[in-house]
Amino acid sequence: TGEKVPRIVSDSLIHPDWVADRAIHWGEDSALYQSKILGEFPAIGDPWQVVPLGWATACRYLEYPAGALPVEAGVDVGAGNDRTVITIREGMRIRHIEWFVNPDPVQTVPLIARVLQEHGVTCVKVDSIGVGWGIYGSLRDLSRVNNPQGLYTTHGAEVVPVNVAQSPTVGNEHKYTNRRAEMWWGIGREHSRLRLWDFSSLPRGLADELIHELTMPKYEIMDAKGKIKIEAKDKIRERLHASPD
C-alpha cells in the first residue's frame, strides 16, 4: 500500500509472489487461503467442511507431553508422480511427517522401512488400494513382527492394511457410506473437535500444510438417517487443484 511502517513489520508482510503461489497450492476456496491471505478468520467456516478451520488450528497449540506411547505411523502411498507421505505420531502428538516422490515401488519400500526403523515405529497403517497393495505386502515381509522367521527383516513395526473403500466397521453401516467417511468423521473431525491430538512440535510451514489438508474435504448428508459421505478426491482436486494425503 506504500504506507510507511517499521522495518520489522515490512519484513513480516506477505509477498505478492507468495500469495500467487499459495493461490495455486492451496486454492482460493481453501480455509487456509481465506485466513492467511484474505484475513478472514471464521470460527467454523463452511458449514459443510469436515474439519472446521478453528478446530484444526486449535490442535497446533495444545502441547501434549512428549514420550507417550505408542509410536505409530500412517502411510499414504503415491502412484506415479504423486508423493508418498509418512506421518508418525507418539501418543496424541504428531512427531514427524516425511514425504518423497518415487514412481519405483522397489525403491519406495526401503525408503519407508528406513523411516519406520529410525523412529522406532511399532505399528504402521498402509494405504493398500492400487499400488499400495504391493507396498503393504513388501513392508509386511520386511517386518520382524509380521515375519518373525524372515531371513531378511529391516524394521520392527506391525504392518496393517487400510482400504478406505471398504464398508464401515460393524454397527456403523447406517452412519457412513464407507470406511473413508468413517475415518474422516470419527477420527479427523471428532479428534480435532475434542482436541485429542496435537502437532505443536511441527515447523510452522509444515503445520500450515497439515491444517490445509485437514480442512480440504467437505461432506454431505445422504439420507434421512444422516448417513455421511465425504467429498471424493477428484472433486476436491477439481475445486482446490490438490487433494489431501
- Residue 152, classed as helix, strand or coil, is coil
**DSSP character at residue 176:** B
- Residue 97: its H or E element: strand 93-100
Residues 6+ apart with CB under 8 A from 48: 218, 219, 220
pLDDT for the residue numbered 47:
82
Backbone angles phi, psi at 89, to 5 degrees: -120, 150
The closest of 105, 86, 76 to 163, measured between CA atoms, is 76
Task: Report residue 10 as a C-alpha cell.
Answer: 515490512
pLDDT digits (tens, 9 = 90+) for 38-76: 776 655 557 889 999 889 999 999 988 877 789 999 999
The model's confidence at residue 79, banded by pLDDT at 50, 70 and 90, is confident
pLDDT digits (tens, 9 = 90+) for 143-168: 999 999 888 999 999 999 999 999 99
Cβ-contact 90, 71 below 8 angstroms: yes
Looking at residue 190, its amino acid is E
| Beta-carbon-side half-sphere exposure of residue 157 (alpha carbons within 13 Å) | 30
First to last CA, the chain: 37
